[in-house]
Chain A
Amino acid sequence: MIYLDNNASTPLDPDVRAAITVALDLYGNPSSVHSDGRRARRAIEEARDDVARLVGARAEEIFFTSGGTEANALAIFGGSRETGRVVTSAVEHPSVREPVSRLAGESGAGAVAVDPEPSGAIDPERILEASPSGTRLASVMAANNEFGAVFPVSEIARTLRARNVPFHCDAVQAAGRIPVDAPGWDVDLLSISAHKLHGPKGVGALYVRRGFPLRAHTPGGGQEKKIRGGTENTAGIVGFGVAARLARERLPEAGRIAALRDRLESGILATIRQTRVAGGVAPRLPNTTTILFGGLSGEALLIRLDLEGVAVSVGSACSSGTLAPSPAILALGYSRDEARGAVRFSLSRWNTPDEIDRVLAMLPGAVAAARDARSTTALARTP
């Protein structure tokens, strides 16, 4: 299998696997006073140090969660004011979109979702225009999961700070791929997830700026400074720590990964007609490209590629496995028909030039078959 769906999830790093295997035997409850408990506590706190370093934070600013979705929910429900509107970009992940629309429904003040430019960029001015003082919360992702655009989070944060608007950043796709500096960007809250950076599933973290008044949403045994109760996922957190350390050490590999991505992208554009890059003008993650293939269904191409041993995706992975045109691609201004032909290729450090060349060799035939099928149907449907 040639795995080009790393924005959905990444393969576990062997060093992470080894650390998790060892940590599975740290059976003591990290809250226990005895030595078994203390061993588990130490492993967790060392992991917290590594995760903190990945986002430029201090360990006490990191709160472990069950993943990016929970971190986003904790930030949005626990970090918003009582009143005012909620502001986001129109291309947020559903784990931001859904809590935001629930908040907006409660307060009656509504939500504003700012569209990206056709280039894929978010204009910070438009976020600011939408966020007067008294705004309940603003949430803008650091990098988009679908077309990979990197948004100007620090610019947005700077002016929101002047207006005293709480600001959350979903950095799930950014962390480990580009430098993330939560205190330097001056965000209040920032979410990350282990399984996007070769760590295990089921563990993530929320950065909470020191002094930010976050409300707890999981009461319980007082873990994570009473913000997030529940006995810690020791092995998962240990794996997250190792993955975060490796990701930070490997940030310089971004150039190599970007070169592979560019090789794939330029190869597709050169050999297959009616192709373009969605949101490819804005600064992007090094590993992501979404290609709009004209005249075919991205879903059919995805399945064809899967049957040939290549894993890609259309839109974001959905739990039921059903697929519909991606709202994020639509928000870039493309039509439903154009969005239907979107296929995302997302790479990691484990991909090789040989893999990219094999994909480039099989794509023209697969695309031609998909287009041929569609044009024949159009004929058959004519009465």
Chain B
Amino acid sequence: MRVAVAMSGGVDSSVAALLLKEQGLEVVGLSMQLWDHSSESGRTGRCCTLDDLSDARRVAWALDIPHYVVNLEEEFRRDVVRPFVASYLGGETPIPCSACNSRVKFTTLWDRARAMGCAAVATGHYARAESDEATGRFVLKKGLDPAKDQSYFLYDLAPDQLAAARFPVGALTKAEVRAHARRAGLPTADKEESQEICFVPAGTRAGEFVEAAAPGLGLSLPALPGVVENARGERLGTHAGHFRFTVGQRRGLRVSAADRLYVISIDPEANRVVVGGALELETSETEVSSLRFPSGESPRSPFRAEVRVRHRAPEVPATVHPRVDGTARVVFDRPVRAVAPGQSCVFYRGDVVIGGGLIARTPEARASFEAGGA
């Protein structure tokens, strides 16, 4: 069987390729050229640098597997970067990694891999895709290493994408992955990992990237300056663009107050950032849109789940009330802080990812934003 491995030049995908090769599969290494950093005045981002491509190529040499660089810049710009910037401009804090997984790695790249005669696409994600013998369906599970689990970024895979996915390092710890890399003499064994957004140049905040990238993507920036208000509508100051803020953010507000102030909501239409005290940041429920269920079973009635509203956030027990239109109301058992629109809300039952969706600003605001941004 021929299998493609998405090789980023990091140790996780290097070991993914190693393990599949050792299973006797015909492994084809594919590195994605996603973003051209040369256009950004000397600043280098953290993905797709020539160094990373060269690392991936060296690993492929070490494993004696064919390796190709696949240029997906257009798709990445269309399916990841533009929605990312549009989402920020819509008052949200998006997660580009989920879109990259479901729309680029397991769509466009999987598409290319199938054309090459590959039966599956493997990545270096810490997650597991297991076949449920009772139902014949695939189930997405957390990676076994709790410190590394990346299932939060994979909940929106469709069932056929999950069926094609292989996560060879999902049952390993990071230390075990590095040990495998050292054992096999892979040149990436001790390479540092990056946790940041790959296309945002090092040392640049997401807001600066949004401001720089929006015009080239045909997206317009709000008029400046915008206002900072409290929930009672009292003006406390100004800001240089609501897209520089995230719900829960405390720094950079430049507003003096007796108590600590946090961003509690963002109103992109009015370019307004609303601030308040820690208590105002708490919420007992949230609206979720674009529901996805990777196993293919969409629950029709309310169900209990442990819910994550952020990568690495502690899980909170909750009741999910799904609606037929693909939205849901999620009611937490106890109040949760800083639930940021645009982030993913992922539902777990133990190790199993039941599904998830996108945290909406409000049902009305999101609907109008999606209609305008489609």
Contact = CB atoms under 8 A, between A and B. Distances in A.
Nearest to B50: A320
A297 B112 contact: yes
B371 to A, nearest CB: 13
B115 A304 contact: yes
B28 interface: yes
A299 B111 contact: no
Contacts of A373: 111-115
Interface string B139-173: 00000000000000000001011000000000000
B21 to A, nearest CB: 15
A376 B158 CA distance: 13
B112 A300 contact: yes
Nearest to A299: B70
B107 A381 contact: yes
Nearest to B57: A321
A322 B111 CA distance: 18
A370 interface: yes
A10 B53 CA distance: 27
Contacts of B113: 373
A300 B116 contact: yes
B70 A380 contact: no
A229 to B, nearest CB: 31
A159 B73 CA distance: 44
A307 interface: yes
Interface in A44-77: none
B115 A322 contact: no
A374 interface: yes
A372 B2 CA distance: 17
B71 A322 contact: yes
Nearest to A321: B69
A374 B116 contact: no
Interface in B30-80: 33, 50, 53, 66, 68-71, 73
Nearest to A296: B115
A12 interface: no
A304 B69 contact: no
Interface string B303-342: 0000000000000000000000000000000000000000
Interface string B84-113: 000000000000000000010001101111
A35 interface: no
Nearest to B32: A322
Contacts of A296: 115
Nearest to B326: A383
Interface string A353-383: 0000000000000100110111011001100
B188 to A, nearest CB: 18
A303 B68 contact: yes
Contacts of B108: 377
A308 B26 CA distance: 12
A3 to B, nearest CB: 16
A301 interface: yes
Contacts of A300: 111-112, 115-116
Contacts of B2: 307
Contact of A307 (B69, B73, B103, B117): B117
A377 B107 contact: yes
Nearest to A305: B116
Contacts of B73: 324
Contact of B116 (A304, A376, A380): A304
A327 to B, nearest CB: 14
Contacts of A381: 103, 107
A297 B115 contact: yes
Given A320-B69, A380-B158, A369 B117 contact: yes
B71 A374 contact: no
B53 A320 contact: yes
Contacts of A377: 107-108, 110-111
Contacts of B160: 380
Contact of B33 (A322, A366, A369, A374): A322
A307 B66 contact: yes
Nearest to B160: A380
Nearest to A383: B290
A322 B48 CA distance: 11
A2 interface: no
A301 B113 CA distance: 10
B2 to A, nearest CB: 7
- Most A-side CB within 10 Å, residue of B115, B116, B117, B158: B115
A254 interface: no
Contacts of A297: 112, 115
A377 B53 CA distance: 26
A123 interface: no
Nearest to B290: A383
A323 interface: yes
B173 to A, nearest CB: 33
A306 interface: yes
B114 A299 contact: no
A370 B71 CA distance: 16
Contacts of A306: 66, 68
Nearest to A375: B111
Interface in A277-314: 296-297, 299-301, 303-304, 306-308
Interface string A306-348: 1110000000000011111000000000000000000000000
Contacts of A307: 2, 28, 66, 116-117
A361 to B, nearest CB: 15
25 contacts: A296-B115, A297-B115, A299-B71, A299-B112, A300-B115, A303-B112, A303-B115, A304-B115, A304-B117, A306-B68, A307-B66, A307-B117, A321-B53, A321-B69, A322-B33, A322-B71, A324-B71, A324-B73, A366-B117, A373-B114, A376-B111, A376-B114, A377-B107, A377-B108, A377-B111
In the A-B complex, list the 8 residue pairs whose CB atoms are closest, starting with the nearest. A300-B115, A370-B115, A373-B114, A377-B111, A373-B115, A304-B116, A300-B112, A321-B69
Interface of A: 296-297, 299-301, 303-304, 306-308, 320-324, 366, 369-370, 372-374, 376-377, 380-381
Given A297-B115, A300-B112, A381-B107, 11 more contacts: A299-B70, A303-B68, A304-B117, A308-B117, A320-B69, A322-B33, A322-B69, A324-B73, A369-B114, A376-B111, A377-B107
